[in-house]
């Protein structure tokens, strides 16, 4: 009996690891940390697109849950790896501004998740998307290239590995 329980526990742990690896795979396979974060941005935009196009309550709830999970993991990666690297390389003010943006993201996720049946829900979602796109463009066009240029090849590799490790925690 104990053997069966142990086997069940081992199978459950293995299944959880495989699930996490599958969830993190697109990011891990994207290449360097900046490419991986850009890929996550694109995936989030695709979810925004699908959310804007659906009126079906059950589908909306499912898509919103996916968006919330994706953005939460993305923020966790940035807040625990990328923004500290920015601070270490003289861009603490930008890191703080991005942390503030993440606070707004969390507020939008809370507000939108609270009542998905409100008549102004899609309008609020579009406001959220606009904020997200502005944040995304600034990161991809300015901040990430500047940080990547300041880091050595080994440092870039270390940031990539650390970011993937953080992403696995929430996958």
pLDDT of residue 22: 45
pLDDT of residue 20: 43
Q: Is 56 helix (H, G, I), strand (E, B) or coil?
A: coil
**What is the structure's pLDDT at 17?**
47
pLDDT of 18: 46
Residue 94 near residue 86, CB atoms below 8 Å:
yes
Tell me which residue range forms the domain holding 10. 2-170
Q: What's the Cα-to-Cα distance from 148 to each of 16, 56, 79, 99, 169, rounded to whole Å? A: 33, 42, 16, 19, 24
Query: Residue with structure tokens 């601070």?
Result: 87
Distance, in Å, from the CA atom of 123 to the CA atom of 117, rounded to the nearest integer, reads: 12
| Long-range contacts (CB closer than 8 Å, 24 or more residues apart) made by 108-111 | 109/67, 109/68, 109/71, 109/72
Tokens 């993201």 correspond to: 105
User: For residue 1, what pLDDT is reported?
Assistant: 66
The predicted pLDDT at position 2 comes to: 67
State the chain's mean pLDDT as an integer: 89
- Residues of the chain with confidence (pLDDT) below 70: 1-2, 4-30
Structural domain count of the chain:
1
């Amino acid at each position: 009996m104990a053997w069966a329980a142990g086997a069940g526990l081992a199978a459950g742990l293995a299944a959880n690891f495989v699930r996490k690896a599958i969830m993190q795979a697109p990011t891990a396979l994207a290449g360097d940390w900046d490419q991986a974060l850009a890929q996550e941005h694109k995936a989030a935009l695709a979810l925004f697109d699908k959310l804007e196009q659906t009126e079906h309550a059950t589908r909306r709830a499912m898509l919103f849950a996916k968006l919330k999970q994706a953005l939460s993991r993305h923020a966790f990666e940035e807040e625990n790896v990328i923004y500290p690297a920015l601070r270490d390389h003289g861009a603490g003010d930008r890191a703080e501004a991005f942390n503030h943006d993440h606070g707004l993201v969390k507020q939008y996720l809370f507000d939108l998740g609270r009542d998905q049946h409100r008549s102004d829900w899609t309008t609020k979602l579009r406001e959220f998307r606009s904020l997200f796109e502005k944040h995304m463009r600034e990161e991809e066009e300015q901040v990430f290239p500047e940080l990547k240029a300041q880091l050595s090849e080994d440092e870039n590799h270390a940031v990539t590995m650390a970011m993937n490790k953080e992403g696995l925690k929430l996958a």
